[in-house]
């Protein structure tokens, strides 16, 4: 079946015939005609969600409300003036409630019917989540509001093992939504859309079968305006086959050019351009808990599924995050946890380890009823590069060095707090205590080191030099270097005249001591070597 869909039609080559003027003349070779590039055939997969309104309203409900809906007949009511039924569950269906009924008629059919207001924003968000999930199967995804998604999957057949295997994988990925998924595969996007609306079972239409299969589609599945449907019913038109028997010119004069243009798109006579779907600039996920969580251990266990959804989104769209906010909502108030990564990453296992460090130090002030996960930016994921080196051990360590350093910094900040972890930066100054400062750490911050022409200096300097004149005179220090003299007249402080030495203390430490040249024989310890 998939092989038939991969069939590509080529134009036959043009042959030139040389005319012979005389028997002794040689026929000249024809001028070669530039070959036309073959037109690539397409395969469109349409996803129609008949119960998207019901699924969105159910997910937006609080856990107590969900428990009530699971045990009763309920319906989603539109926000229009007459309060029409948009969708209903199976219990309400058995009582005779149907989409399109007015609210009063639905209540007359089922007196115990629970009514839920339609959540249009939740439906839009759910449809966008579905489109983002579909990016795992193809990069050509188009959202068709209010409840459809189109995928061009011609190039995905070989990767997923054919059309049937691809449809099975897609249905499994969207099975937990319970949104009434209907699937159809056809050579044109409009035909796949119509076929998905007309059948509950998955349908696969080959190019040669398109006119015959499309003929049986009822007019109601085209979702044309009600006035046009009633007008076609008066003509005796009930299926697409009846439409194709009519003159396009007369049909356009009676019902307008728009529906006729859609019919041409379904048959592949006119192209239909769709706006492609790309990953949204940010990520948002909301989890309504079925019961209140009072311990961080249970909270970590609950976060496994939301983080798995986040990872599928990042990997499917080739994106990464550099910041994440976890909001724990209580009956009154909320607790927010902020994560800032040194490097953008799509590895949610690492994010989970950082959340573990935060939650391990957190004391819940009240039980958690709802969890929100937000990432303000979805960045392009950077591929890992390997360095060609002669030493295999060096080749394996170089690409991971910056990543290991970044993860170490993130773990330290999560465990001890961001203000507790600082990095040294160098400054252009002659006085040692002014030549370095601390700042927020970064994975790409270069190591602080004095210029090569200067003697060795320690990175660990005391806040204030410690007097050590008595210890020096008692022989507690053994000088092991020649002096390094520093004389400076800074604008922002007193003048400095010092002679620095490296010395071994009697306790075994290597110290950096100096003699103050302005105070004669006064000695001070200014830092320690590692």
- Sort 44 into a burial class: Cβ within 10 Å, 0-12 / 13-18 / 19+: buried
In which band, very low, low, confident or very high, does the pLDDT at 379 lie, cut at 50, 70 and 90? confident
Average pLDDT (230-255) is 91
Please check the confidence at residue 441 and state whether its pLDDT lies above 80. Answer: no
Q: Would you call 334 helix, strand, or coil by DSSP?
A: strand
Query: H helices of 95-162, where?
Result: 103-109, 120-134, 157-160
Could you state, in order of their start, the residue ranges of all structural domains in the chain? 122-266, 455-528
| pTM exceeds 0.85 for this model | no
The winner for highest mean pLDDT among 33-47, 340-354, 358-372, 448-462 is: 358-372
Position 19 scores a pLDDT of: 35
Q: Which residue has the tokens 């007019």?
A: 219
pLDDT in tens, 118-164: 989 889 989 988 998 898 899 899 999 999 999 999 999 999 999 99
pLDDT recorded at residue 190: 95
Pairing of strands 141-144, 181-186: unpaired
At 400-416, the pLDDT tens digits run: 666 677 777 777 777 77
Residue of higher predicted confidence among 351 and 448? 351
DSSP string, 26-66: PPPPPPPPPPPPPPPP--EEEEEETTHHHHHHHHHS-HHHH
Pairing of strands 460-467, 522-528: antiparallel
Which pLDDT score is estimated for 413?
72
Q: What is the pLDDT of residue 282?
A: 84
Beta strands per DSSP E along 221-280: none
Query: Which of 7-16, 189-198, 420-429, 443-452 ranks highest by mean pLDDT?
Result: 189-198
How far apart CA 514 and CA 60 sit, in angstroms, is 70
Q: How far apart are CA 192 and CA 176, in angstroms?
A: 23
Q: What does the pLDDT look like over 213-228, one tens digit per residue? A: 999 999 999 999 999 9
pLDDT confidence of residue 491: 67
The pLDDT, as a whole number, for residue 25 is: 39
- Identify the pLDDT of residue 416: 73
Q: Render pLDDT for 10-58 as a digit per residue (tens, 0 to 9).
A: 333 443 333 333 333 333 444 444 444 445 689 999 999 999 999 999 9
Contact 472, 437 (CB under 8 A): no
Contact 243, 194 (CB under 8 A): no
Write out pLDDT tens, residues 253-296. Answer: 999 999 999 999 999 999 998 888 877 788 888 888 888 899 99
pLDDT for residue 3: 37
Let me know: does 437 contact 428? Beta carbons within 8 Å: no
Residue 479 pLDDT more than 50?
yes
Report strand pairing: 496-505 vs 484-488. Answer: antiparallel
Rounded mean pLDDT of 417-439?
73
- Supply angle C-alpha 434, 439, 443, rounded to 5: 125
Predicted pLDDT of residue 6: 35
What's the mean pLDDT when you consider all of the chain? 82
Q: Convert 320-329 to b/e letters by CB count within 10 Å (16 or more is b).
A: bbbebebbbb
pLDDT band at 492 (very low <50, low <70, confident <90, very high): low
d(CA 402, CA 408): 10
Predicted pLDDT at 458: 83
pLDDT at 490 over 90: no
| Residues of the chain above pLDDT 70, percent | 85
Q: Give the contacts of 18 (CB within 8 A, at least 6 positions apart).
A: 27, 28, 29, 30
């Amino acid at each position: 079946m998939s092989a038939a869909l991969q069939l590509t039609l080529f134009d036959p080559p043009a042959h030139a015939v040389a005319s012979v003027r005389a028997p002794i003349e040689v026929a000249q070779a024809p001028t070669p005609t530039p070959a036309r590039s073959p037109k690539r055939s397409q395969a469109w997969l349409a996803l129609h969600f008949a119960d998207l309104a019901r699924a969105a309203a159910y997910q937006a409900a609080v856990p107590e409300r969900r428990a009530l809906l699971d045990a009763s007949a309920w319906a989603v009511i539109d926000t229009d003036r007459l309060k029409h039924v948009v969708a209903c569950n199976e219990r309400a269906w058995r009582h005779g409630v149907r989409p399109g009924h007015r609210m009063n008629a639905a209540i007359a059919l089922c007196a115990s019917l629970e009514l839920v207001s339609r959540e249009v924003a939740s439906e839009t968000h759910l449809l966008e989540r579905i489109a983002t999930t579909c990016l795992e199967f193809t990069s050509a995804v188009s959202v068709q509001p209010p409840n459809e998604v189109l995928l061009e999957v011609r190039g995905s057949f070989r990767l997923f093992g054919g059309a049937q295997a691809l449809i099975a994988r897609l249905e499994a990925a969207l099975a937990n939504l319970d949104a009434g998924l209907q699937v159809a595969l056809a050579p044109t996007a409009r035909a796949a859309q119509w076929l998905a609306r007309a059948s509950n079972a998955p349908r696969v239409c080959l190019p040669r079968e398109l006119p015959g299969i499309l003929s049986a589609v009822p007019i109601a599945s085209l979702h044309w305006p009600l006035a046009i449907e009633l007008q076609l019913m008066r003509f005796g038109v009930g299926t697409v086959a009846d439409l194709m028997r009519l003159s396009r010119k007369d049909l356009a004069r009676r019902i307008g050019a728009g529906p006729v243009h859609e019919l041409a798109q379904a048959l592949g006579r006119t192209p239909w351009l769709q706006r492609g779907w790309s990953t949204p600039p940010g990520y948002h996920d909301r989890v309504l808990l079925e019961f209140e969580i009072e311990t961080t251990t249970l909270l970590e266990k609950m976060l496994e599924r939301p983080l798995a959804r986040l990872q599928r989104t990042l990997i499917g769209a080739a994106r990464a995050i550099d910041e994440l906010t976890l909001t724990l909502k209580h009956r009154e108030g909320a607790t927010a946890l902020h994560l800032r990564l040194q490097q953008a990453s799509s590895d949610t296992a690492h994010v989970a380890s950082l959340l573990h460090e935060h939650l391990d130090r957190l004391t819940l002030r009240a039980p958690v009823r709802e969890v929100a996960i937000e990432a303000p930016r979805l960045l392009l994921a950077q591929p890992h590069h390997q360095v060609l080196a002669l030493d295999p051990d060096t080749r394996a360590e170089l690409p991971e060095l910056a990543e290991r350093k970044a993860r170490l910094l993130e773990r330290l900040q999560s465990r001890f707090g961001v203000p507790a972890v600082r990095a040294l930066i160098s400054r252009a100054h002659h006085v040692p205590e002014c030549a370095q400062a601390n700042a927020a750490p970064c994975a790409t911050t270069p190591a602080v080191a004095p210029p090569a022409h200067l003697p060795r200096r320690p990175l660990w300097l005391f806040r204030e030099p410690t007097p050590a004149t008595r210890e020096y005179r008692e022989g507690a220090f053994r000088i092991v270097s020649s002096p390094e003299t520093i004389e400076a007249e800074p604008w922002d402080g007193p003048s400095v005249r010092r002679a620095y030495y490296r010395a071994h203390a009697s306790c075994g430490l290597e110290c950096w001591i100096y003699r103050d040249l302005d105070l004669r024989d006064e000695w001070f310890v200014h830092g320690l070597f590692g």
